[in-house]
Amino acid sequence: MAIVEVKTEITGNIWKVLVTVGATVEEDEPILILESMKMEIPVSTSEGGTVRDILVVEGDTVTEGTVVARIEA
């Protein structure tokens, strides 16, 4: 099985984490909400699978390209 890293596309704050470790997710499913410039932006998986790691918590500040989760596809 492949491990897929989910990365942010912009800088912002983690507003809400929508999944937990062990959860099954579908391709393009939002796994967290990023707040940037007073906008809420979903961060989604590129592949379906099982959430193996959540590397951020609500309130964290992240930059573009930060790995926020790993999915076992």
CA–CA distance, 11 with 64 (Å, rounded to integer): 5
Report the predicted TM-score, pTM, of the whole model to 2 decimal places: 0.92
CATH number at residue 25: 2.40.50.100
Task: List pLDDT tens digits, range 1-31.
Answer: 799 999 999 999 999 999 999 999 999 999 9
Q: How many C-beta atoms lie closer than 10 Å to residue 54's C-beta? A: 19
pLDDT per position as a tens digit, 40-73: 999 999 999 999 999 999 999 999 999 999 999 9
Q: Structurally, how many domains does the chain consist of?
A: 1
Structural domain range at position 47:
3-72
